[in-house]
Each structure stands twice: as structure tokens, then as C-alpha cells.
Amino acid sequence: MPRTPVPHGAIVVGLDSSPTGVAALEWAVQEASRRNLPLHLLHAYFHELWLAAPPERPEALARTDEVVEAAVARVRSLDGDLRLTWDVPLGSAAGELVAASEHADTVVLGARGRGAVAGVLLGTVSLTVAMHAHCPVVVVHGGATEDGPQAGRVVVGVDGSESSAAAIGHAFAQASSRGAGLTAVHCWWLQISEGEIAGTAEAQGPADVAESGRLLLAEALAGWREKYPDVDVRELVLQEFPVESLIAQSAGAALMVVGTRGKGGFTGLLLGSVSQGVLRGAHCPVAVVRPTA
């Protein structure tokens, strides 16, 4: 079967028939429609025995065709004018999506595919693509709530890192295109050890650290307000653990945006612990954004 190339700047969605896969497809259609971008469906199929001698029409490929046909019909029912292409490559889903990300604007996929273990909140494909993709990756959980502290808003985690700066730019662009507000969240936490505050270069109290957080947030957002004057911005500096705080703020949000790796990340780590924690537990779609080269 001939390959269909990914249109430049397309929204690419990884297909499967799981509940989160269906939610990801619908999210991708809305994103492509709102931003007037092409939509590319990708459903990879793989079996190690086929690599040596792929059969003409394996049963699995027939099932793959059914998934793609159902997805195409769903897209057409949601937006019949959308520029739509699709591809059914032989290979690993993660590998094919990462390759597609070189040409895509955004890659979208469900949090857990059909192969995920029951109770696992984030599948290996979603995590692998989020780690290695060359463009923003949006992971969609099913059953998103509409009520929460940031209902209808775009939320971005800010820590002053290069990755965080890329996330801020993406968050502003998303908020503007949606006509939504933006909430920038900076979290901090001090460990009290033997009556003293640990973990800082100087002996700072909570009030000092909170003020440092407010200054960091103001500096990180500088320039973006002027570029996007239409976006209503809220700033939150919270004395909370980052993962738990961002998950709480994601309830009801339109989108949560995080960088790939924060200031506390280890050199060479492709996806930090905060980003992974938010991907696993968020109540709304999560965009993972890496700095541009």
C-alpha cells in the first residue's frame, strides 16, 4: 500500500478505537477546524513476523481498515470541509508518530490505547511520543470535567526554564485562538529540616520565596501580554507541590500546557517528572512543548 505523506503543518492524530483514542480524534478535528489546518490520521499496525514477509491481507490489517474508515466517517460528520488525509503504515505506533511529528504542527493521541493495562493512566505510546516528538504533543484523557478553578481557560506551568518559556508561548497562542483566558501557575515548596528551611542557597523564608516566585512569573510573562493583548491573564504563585497543584488547576480547563523538562530536571532527561505526573493525572488535554532548536 503506498504511503500518504504528512501535509506540512498538519494536525496529526494517532488512531485507535479506545475511548481516549476517540476523544483524541474529536479534539484533533476541533483543533484543525479552528486553526484552518489539514488533519492527518495515522494508524500503524505491527507484528514482528510481518517484517520479514508481510502477508497480502492479514486479518489485523482488515481491522485496521475498519478503524480508519470509522475515523474518516466521524471526521466528515464533524467537519465535511476539513482537508483530510490518512496513512496506515506497517511499523510501531510510537515510531511512526515521532517520524510524522517532523512535518506536523501538533501530534494528538489518547492517553491510553487498546493495548494499555487496566488501571494504567498513561500508555507507553503516549509517553514515548511525548518524549521524542519534534513538535507539540497533546495527550487527551476521556471524561474531561467542565467545572474547576480554571474552567474554560488555558493553564500553563511556569518555572523559568527554557522549556517553560516555550510552553508559555504555545499557551498564549492557544488561548488567543480559542478566545480563552490564560492562567500561569508557578509552584514552590520548602522543606523544613531541624527547624530550618532547606533547599535554598540562602536562608529565605516563605514570604521571600513567594516574592521570588512572583518576580519569576512576571519576568517569564514579559512581552507575551503585549503580543497577545486579547488574552486575559491570571497569575498564580502557589505554595504547593507542582504535580498535585497543576493537576488540581487542570479541572475544567480547556488545555494544560507544560514544558518537557523543568529547571530541576536531570541533564539528558527527555521528559521531566512534573510533566510526566501531569500527563498521567490531568483532568483535561495536556500539551507537552519542547524548546525550538
Q: Which residue has the higher pLDDT, 245 or 204?
A: 245
Q: Which runs of E-coded beta strand occur in the chain?
A: 10-14, 39-42, 84-87, 104-110, 137-140, 154-157, 182-187, 191-193, 196-198, 233-238, 255-259, 286-289
Cell, residue 169: 508561548
Nearest to 157 by CA among 66, 51, 259: 259
Instruction: Summarize the confidence of residues 258-281 as an average pLDDT.
Output: 73
pLDDT at res. 51: 52
Is pTM beyond 0.85? Reply is yes
- The answer to whether residues 259 and 157 touch, using CB atoms and an 8 Å cutoff, is yes
pLDDT at res. 64: 80
Task: Spell out the domains of the chain, with CATH numbers in brackets.
Answer: 10-140 (3.40.50.620), 154-289 (3.40.50.12370)
Count other Cβ atoms within 10 Å, centred on residue 198: 10
Instruction: Give Cβ neighbours of residue 43 (< 8 Å, ≥ 6 apart).
Output: 14, 15, 16, 64, 67, 68, 71, 86, 87, 88
Q: Which residue has the cell 496529526?
A: 12
- The answer to whether residues 66 and 16 touch, using CB atoms and an 8 Å cutoff, is no
Give tens-digit pLDDT for 155-209: 999 998 888 999 999 999 999 999 999 999 999 876 544 444 444 445 466 787 7
**Lowest-confidence region among 55-59, 218-222, 260-264:** 55-59
Nearest to 31 by CA among 110, 121, 141, 105: 105
Give tens-digit pLDDT for 115-135: 444 444 567 899 999 999 999
Give the confidence band of 65 by pLDDT, cuts at 50, 70, 90: confident
d(CA 178, CA 139) in angstroms, rounded, equals 18
